[in-house]
């Protein structure tokens, strides 16, 4: 099953859309780089996002996170990351093979340095050279798990 994670190795680029009840909706561009660790069952990653800002009329830096995607065994995975602004997050979930890729579903188990966060969930679907993901979150101001960002990326 670690071979499923190996399918992510490389650089991915694409577009997404962000929304949340407490913000103005936005379009964004994203680059996601996964690097396979040749010794341990994990990938390191860096995610950079640039959102479209109407006032500027261009894309500006928005989100940056870096972390690790660990293979835990028995179809289980974990993401541990640090994000721009100091938030640290750990998520765990499952990964299941599909005909041409996988579906990975993760849920937060811990946050640090951001008292607004209550819960988060991410779903990644890989099909060939197309990676689609959705991220939902629950905060102190929004009591239900609510879609925040969704993007489709393609392998470079």
Q: What is the per-residue pLDDT across 81-102, written as a single tens digit (0 to 9) for each?
A: 999 989 999 999 999 999 999 9
- Residues lower than pLDDT 50 in the chain: none
Q: Which domain CATH number covers 69?
A: 2.40.128.20
The span from the CA of 6 to the CA of 42, in Å, is 9
Number of compact structural domains in the chain: 1
What 3-state DSSP class applies to 82? strand
The span from the CA of 51 to the CA of 147, in Å, is 17
Domain that holds residue 57: 2-155
**E strand map for the chain:** 10-18, 26-36, 42-53, 58-73, 76-83, 88-98, 101-112, 117-127, 130-139, 146-155
Which residues, 6+ apart, have CB-to-CB distance to 95 below 8 Å? 1, 4, 5, 75, 76, 77, 102, 103, 104
From residue 87, alpha-carbon distances to 18, 73, 76, 117, 133 in Å are 19, 27, 23, 9, 20
CB atoms within 10 A of CB 88: 15
Lookup: tokens for 21:
């009840």
pLDDT for 55: 87
pLDDT for 56: 86
pLDDT for 54: 87
Question: b/e for 6-17, b at 16 or more Cβ within 10 A?
Answer: ebbeeebebebe
């Amino acid at each position: 099953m670690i071979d499923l994670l190996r399918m992510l190795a490389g650089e991915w680029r694409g577009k997404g859309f962000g929304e949340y009840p407490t913000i103005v909706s936005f379009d964004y561009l994203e680059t996601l780089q996964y690097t396979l660790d040749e010794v341990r069952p994990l990938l390191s990653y860096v995610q950079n996002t640039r959102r479209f800002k109407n006032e500027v009329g261009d894309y500006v830096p928005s989100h940056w996170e870096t972390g690790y995607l660990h293979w835990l065994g028995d179809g289980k995975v974990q993401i541990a990351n640090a994000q721009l602004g100091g938030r640290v997050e750990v998520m765990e979930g499952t990964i299941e093979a599909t005909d041409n890729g996988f579906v990975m579903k993760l849920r937060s188990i811990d946050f640090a340095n951001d008292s607004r966060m209550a819960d988060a969930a991410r779903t990644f679907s890989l099909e060939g050279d197309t990676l689609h993901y959705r991220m939902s979150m629950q905060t102190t101001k929004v009591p239900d798990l609510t879609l925040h960002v969704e993007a489709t990326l393609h392998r470079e």
